Amino acid sequence: MKKLLKPILLSLIAIAISANSYADKKNFELIKNTDIFNAILKELSLFYVDSIDAEKIIGNGIKSMLYSLDPYTTYIPKSEEHDLKFMTTGEYAGVGALISPRDSLIQISSIYEGNPAQIGGMKPGDLILEINGESMIGKSNDYVSNHLRGKANTLAVVKVKRPMVDTIVTLDITRKKIYIPAVSYYGVIEEGIGYIYLSSFNTQAASEVKEALKDLKKRENIKSLILDLRGNPGGLLDEAIGVVNLFVPKGKTILETKGKVKQQERIYKTSQSPIDTTMPLAVLVSNESASASEIVAGALQDLDRAVIVGDRTFGKGLVQTTRPLPHDGTLKITTAKYYIPSGRLIQAIDYSHRNPDGSVGRIPDSLTTEFKTAAGRIVRDGGGITPDIKHEYPKQSNIIYYLTKDYHIFDFATQYAAKHKNIPVVGEFSLTDEEYAEFKEMLKERNFTYDRESISLLKKLKELAEFEGYMDIAGETFETLQKQLEHNIDKDLETFKETIKKELESEIVERYYYTKGSMERVVKDDTCIKEAAAILNNLEEYKNILSPKEK
């Protein structure tokens, strides 16, 4: 026995020495490089030819260091703590308006209903000239945003230019605590089918979905539900668990997190009584649905509780927590990876292995692994959540992109709102042919034009034909084709009239009925919602999708 114990003990001692040696080496490298960094800063401050902005260069260094790890590990200085609070709670103190750059000024792009901006008379399209006597001309979006925000019950005196009536107006707006709901809109799509749009996972997300669902069941007597997570970037992990808990029984494992330290290893289970565990459920996702959205969609897919419809999701399977830093700073740091009920990790990008140019690629489908849902359906890891039903969206016309990007649709809505005190209710409002003609006239006055993909591709093909010597035989064909494809704005505006009118009507409705009205308008024409509704209306198809298939 002694002969056996001796080599085992020697091996354990060797392992312990090796481990300590490795730890000592890591600590030495950390101390060495910290000393080098401090020495460089000292030399720069003493001998660099110009004065240096220490906060700026160190801040840039910190950003580069953290970004080399992943985009979610970030340093948040005290001056930006309100952004962190807003992301987690949906609350901030300000006027309740969205802003965007417009030439050398900042424009009001949207207003939240019932908040100080609306009460104080601010309108979409207003261009901000001054705030509390300070000029905002040429200032950045962040600079103006910080001046609109402030302590609750303080006064913001905002001077704006109202372009469509060409007047300058001074507005006295009292800042208040602003709360942006997680559930932007809910209602009934068609008889028996409820719809909830969840835009974020803030501290009230699960309770807002719960109240919306209860209201729809009680007031509208819905038999099935569409939960829309498209474009939802995520948020609080506990709120994601809470949303799943509304549809699955108490005690179900939803998530497991694994990190470097033991404290980050945790199993999350549903802890409350659900609202409804049998109602047919469809969850809509897009390539911008990330993090907490993917937990909800992935868990409901793994538990065979919902049909997932849309595009493959973003693929963020990393968990962040916050750590306090000196001088009231905060480090948001990736501390764990999460695994959904089937055991799969949906993280689509491996940030630990970067390309020589610093870029990071998605994990190839060939390297992903098969897992199984509770019912035995095959699902895969490493690439976000792949929907059960992939929805093909109609290709958007190029003209819509430029009408939106260059503010033509926005400006016409601003002009329309200046001329009309009110409009019919959302379901009854539509632009007349005469009003659409006014829009076309506005574009003509602005000499509107746009790049067409077909012309661009033809130009490239022509250049290639010239290079390869085919123009002698194909020159006339190119000229004929170019004439046929040349811009005819009037023709294009008629060809895409119905699509353009829908965009105009949605923008105009928002001026009178805010986000809720705009959402109500949009969902009725949404092709992905219609496809989900068709599945929910066909119980046999719904069950078939959630059943395992022969491999």
Q: Give the integer Cα–Cα distance in Å for 27 and 33.
A: 10
Q: Give the integer Cα–Cα distance in Å for 292 and 167.
A: 45
Instruction: Express each pLDDT in 27-61 by its tens digit.
Output: 778 888 888 988 988 888 889 999 888 888 888 88
The stretch 243-260 carries a mean pLDDT of: 96
Neighbouring CB atoms inside 10 A of 146's CB total 16
One-letter identity of residue 493? L
With beta carbons less than 8 A apart as the criterion, state whether 110 and 124 touch.
yes
Strands (DSSP E) contained in 243-300 are 253-259, 266-269, 281-285
With beta carbons less than 8 A apart as the criterion, state whether 532 and 290 touch.
no
| Model pLDDT, residue 498 | 93
With beta carbons less than 8 A apart as the criterion, state whether 429 and 464 touch.
no
Instruction: Express each pLDDT in 181-211 by its tens digit.
Output: 999 999 999 999 999 999 999 999 999 999 9
| Model pLDDT, residue 454 | 65
| Model pLDDT, residue 465 | 75
Helix (H, G, I), strand (E, B) or coil at 238: helix
Q: Give the integer Cα–Cα distance in Å for 467 and 463.
A: 6
Q: Give the integer Cα–Cα distance in Å for 214 and 250.
A: 18
The stretch 464-487 carries a mean pLDDT of: 71
Q: Is 215 a catalytic residue?
A: no
| Model pLDDT, residue 367 | 83
- Say which residues have a Cβ less than 8 Å from residue 203's Cβ, sequence separation at least 6: 88, 89, 90, 236, 239
Q: Give the integer Cα–Cα distance in Å for 83 and 100.
A: 17
Q: Give the integer Cα–Cα distance in Å for 396 and 453.
A: 12
C-alpha pair distances (Å), 511 with each of 66, 113, 506: 41, 10, 9
Q: Which residue has the higher pLDDT, 461 or 69?
A: 69
Q: Is 291 a catalytic residue?
A: yes
Lowest mean pLDDT among 27-36, 269-278, 350-359, 423-432: 350-359
Nearest Cα to Cα of residue 536 among 238, 302, 211, 282: 282
Partner residues linked to 75 by β-bridges: 331
Only one residue has tokens 């379901």, namely 427
Give the tokens for residue 275.
């609202």
With beta carbons less than 8 A apart as the criterion, state whether 407 and 504 touch.
no
Q: SS in 3 state form for 486-514?
A: CCCHHHHHHHCHHHHHHHHHHHHHHHHHH
Lowest mean pLDDT among 33-42, 278-287, 307-316: 33-42
CATH level 3 topology of 183-320+332-353+362-390: 2-enoyl-CoA Hydratase; Chain A, domain 1 (3.90.226)
Lowest mean pLDDT among 5-19, 124-138, 399-413: 5-19
- Across all residues in the chain, what is the average pLDDT? 89
Lowest mean pLDDT among 12-16, 101-105, 133-137, 452-456: 12-16
C-alpha pair distances (Å), 30 with each of 13, 21, 27: 26, 14, 5
Q: Tell me which of 228, 302, 311, 526 is the catalytic residue.
A: 302
Q: Give the integer Cα–Cα distance in Å for 123 and 449.
A: 28
State the pLDDT confidence band at 406, using cuts at 50, 70 and 90: very high
- Say which residues have a Cβ less than 8 Å from residue 156's Cβ, sequence separation at least 6: 95, 131, 132, 147, 148, 150, 172, 173, 174, 175
Q: Is 316 a catalytic residue?
A: yes
Q: Give the integer Cα–Cα distance in Å for 156 and 174.
A: 6
With beta carbons less than 8 A apart as the criterion, state whether 169 and 157 touch.
no
Helix (H, G, I), strand (E, B) or coil at 330: strand
Neighbouring CB atoms inside 10 A of 358's CB total 8
Check pLDDT > 70 for residue 254: yes
Only one residue has tokens 């006014």, namely 438
Pairing of strands 281-285, 224-228: parallel
Only one residue has tokens 């919902």, namely 306
Helix (H, G, I), strand (E, B) or coil at 548: coil
With beta carbons less than 8 A apart as the criterion, state whether 71 and 64 touch.
no
Q: What is the maximum span of the chain, computed from C-alpha positions, in angstroms?
A: 101
Neighbouring CB atoms inside 10 A of 208's CB total 20
R_g (Cα) of the chain, nearest Å = 29
Q: Tell me which of 311, 316, 342, 388 is the catalytic residue.
A: 316
Q: Give the integer Cα–Cα distance in Å for 214 and 206.
A: 12
Q: Give the integer Cα–Cα distance in Å for 547 and 29.
A: 54
Instruction: Express each pLDDT in 488-503 by its tens digit.
Output: 788 889 999 999 999 9
Check pLDDT > 70 for residue 484: no
The DSSP string of 155-205 is: EEEEEEEETTTTEEEEEEEE-EEEE--SEEEEEEEETTEEEEEE--B-TTH
Note the helical H segments in 344-470: 398-405, 408-419, 433-445, 453-468
Q: Give the integer Cα–Cα distance in Å for 449 and 408.
A: 11
Considering the four listed CATH numbers 3.90.1170.40, 2.30.42.10, 3.30.360.10, 3.40.50.1470, the one that applies to the domain covering 91-179 is: 2.30.42.10
CA angle, 112 as apex, 109 and 117 as ends, to 5°? Answer: 80
The stretch 77-104 carries a mean pLDDT of: 83
Q: Tell me which of 291, 293, 342, 506 is the catalytic residue.
A: 291
Partner residues linked to 267 by β-bridges: 256
> For residue 55, how many C-alpha atoms fall within 13 Å in the half-sphere facing its CB?
3
Pairing of strands 307-310, 389-390: parallel
Check pLDDT > 60 for residue 512: yes
